[in-house]
Copies of this chain bind each other. A is one copy, B any other.
């Protein structure tokens, strides 16, 4: 018996042996909740639209044969840093009650994009994947920004990438913007928005500065300054070029090229003809690849995908095609869907040559933008098609049976469980935006009836055959 008693004490002295939760404390302190800046959260009606967005994006991704993957929210800090990323925006994880042993473990941090985790995933599971590996990924990512209006610290991105071993057909560079155009132009709420996918190829500019800017750092700065044109204008770039003693013909050529927002397919070939400007093979290769993409997306409405030679993306790991997507009427909002081709995705993790091409929708940023503009089709607060009324307390079982019958036939059916006035039950359906209210018989022998809350029409109906009008 003593042993058992000790055991009781042993268990009771270690509350976590029972459960991870302590009892509520007796003092009832009210902690007024407030939103955490940068971590968006929606009410049910907005969340319903968000779900429609995810469903739509997933449907289109899958219709092109992309598979879904998810990676953990965390990676080892060394993995996140392996690509030389700036780390000041990384959130590290720390156990609240860490002990000595924690310091022996690898430090974990929340991922800040889905590209680094993809690279790690492909390297780690290389032997189990079929190439070309086509995956989509729709997860939250985190940036440890200082709280700031309009900046998200947690947000969704929707990425597609295609990775292959050694080489990857250029057709994928053309398929990706077609997929993204199909998605973006049909998102609920985007009907009135004109968007344009702007494409370029980094080889074009590389082919022009070959022999002029040979220092790698200078090249990186060149592309960075081009990336800033949309925000800062051309002046900084021109100043930089003349500082580097680039000849005036090339400077003027670049100036005119960057000022033109969109090149037609036929204009690309003749672009440099007669200018006397020297270029390397890279220039020609870039022009041809860009032409191929314009040609392969010609089935889309005119102006959906255009050539814009000022698109370079700030990220130096892009080596060929680069994409940005803007609202035609509000280009200053910046890109809502970007990406490009990279020569070697997982070079930091595996000794294989894995070229890829990818695009990413800034989901939360785009969603919030349309929400702020009042463009989202926000309406119902519930997925229920029908509210089954409780006629009276003693007809509970019949109401339940009615709900089961309708539900078994594929409808979303909510029951009103409280024995309340019918008026109140209908007000509940109204408030939640439930489109139909169903009245089981109030007395034996009566018929079922269903009311269309929009039109107000009420009519007799049989739960085993009735269908939602228009379905």
Listed in ascending order, the chain A residues whose CB lies under 8 Å from chain B are 1, 4-5, 7-8, 11-12, 15-16, 18-25, 28-36, 39-44, 47-48, 51, 62-79, 82-97, 101, 105-106, 108-110, 112, 120-121, 123-125, 128-130, 132, 134-135, 140, 142-144, 146-147, 154, 169, 171-172, 175, 216, 220-221, 224-225, 227-228, 232, 235-236, 239-240, 243, 296, 299, 314-317, 347-351, 381-384, 387, 396, 400, 404, 407, 411-415, 417-418, 428, 431-432, 434
A21-B84, A94-B94 given; name 10 further pairs at CB < 8 Å.
Answer: A7-B239, A11-B224, A28-B347, A29-B82, A31-B349, A33-B79, A48-B67, A65-B412, A88-B95, A89-B95
Those 10 A-B pairs whose CB atoms lie nearest each other, nearest first:
A65-B414, A19-B314, A65-B384, A39-B72, A171-B417, A62-B383, A88-B97, A95-B144, A169-B417, A4-B239
Q: Which of A28, A63, A72 has the most CB of B within 10 A?
A: A63
Bound state CA distance, A56 and B74, in angstroms?
Answer: 27
Q: Do A66 and B383 have beta carbons less than 8 Å apart?
A: yes
Q: List 6 A-B contacts (CB under 8 A).
A: A11-B225, A21-B86, A36-B74, A42-B70, A67-B381, A67-B382
Q: Do A87 and B97 have beta carbons less than 8 Å apart?
A: yes
Bound state CA distance, A52 and B270, in angstroms?
Answer: 52
Bound state CA distance, A31 and B101, in angstroms?
Answer: 23
- Copies per complex of this chain: 2
**Which among B64, B220, B407 is the interface contact of A64 at CB below 8 angstroms?**
B407
**A95, closest chain B residue (CB):** B144
Known A20-B89, A431-B130: A417·B383 in contact at CB below 8 Å: no
Q: Do A20 and B112 have beta carbons less than 8 Å apart?
A: yes
Q: Do B236 and A349 have beta carbons less than 8 Å apart?
A: no
Known A63-B407, A144-B96: A72·B154 in contact at CB below 8 Å: yes
**A106, closest chain B residue (CB):** B36
Bound state CA distance, A69 and B51, in angstroms?
Answer: 10
Q: Do A105 and B21 have beta carbons less than 8 Å apart?
A: no
Known A65-B412, A351-B30: A70·B93 in contact at CB below 8 Å: no
**Which among B43, B134, B143 is the interface contact of A125 at CB below 8 angstroms?**
B43
Q: Do A299 and B20 have beta carbons less than 8 Å apart?
A: no
Q: Which of A15, A22, A25, A76 has the most CB of B within 10 A?
A: A22
**Which among B47, B123, B146, B316 is the interface contact of A70 at CB below 8 angstroms?**
B47
Bound state CA distance, A135 and B32, in angstroms?
Answer: 22
**Which among B18, B67, B415 is the interface contact of A314 at CB below 8 angstroms?**
B18
Q: Which residues of B contact A105 (CB under 8 A)?
A: 147
Q: Which residues of B contact A110 (CB under 8 A)?
A: 93
Bound state CA distance, A8 and B5, in angstroms?
Answer: 76
- Least CB distance, A308 to chain B, in whole angstroms: 18
Q: Which residues of B contact A299 (CB under 8 A)?
A: 400, 404
Bound state CA distance, A71 and B28, in angstroms?
Answer: 24
Q: Do A85 and B315 have beta carbons less than 8 Å apart?
A: no
**Which among B21, B316, B348, B428 is the interface contact of A29 at CB below 8 angstroms?**
B348
Q: Do A74 and B39 have beta carbons less than 8 Å apart?
A: yes
Q: Do B95 and A91 have beta carbons less than 8 Å apart?
A: yes
Bound state CA distance, A1 and B236, in angstroms?
Answer: 10
Q: Do A25 and B84 have beta carbons less than 8 Å apart?
A: yes
Bound state CA distance, A154 and B75, in angstroms?
Answer: 12
Q: Do A124 and B34 have beta carbons less than 8 Å apart?
A: yes
Q: Which of A32, A383, A434 has the most CB of B within 10 A?
A: A383
**Which among B36, B51, B132, B296 is the interface contact of A76 at CB below 8 angstroms?**
B36
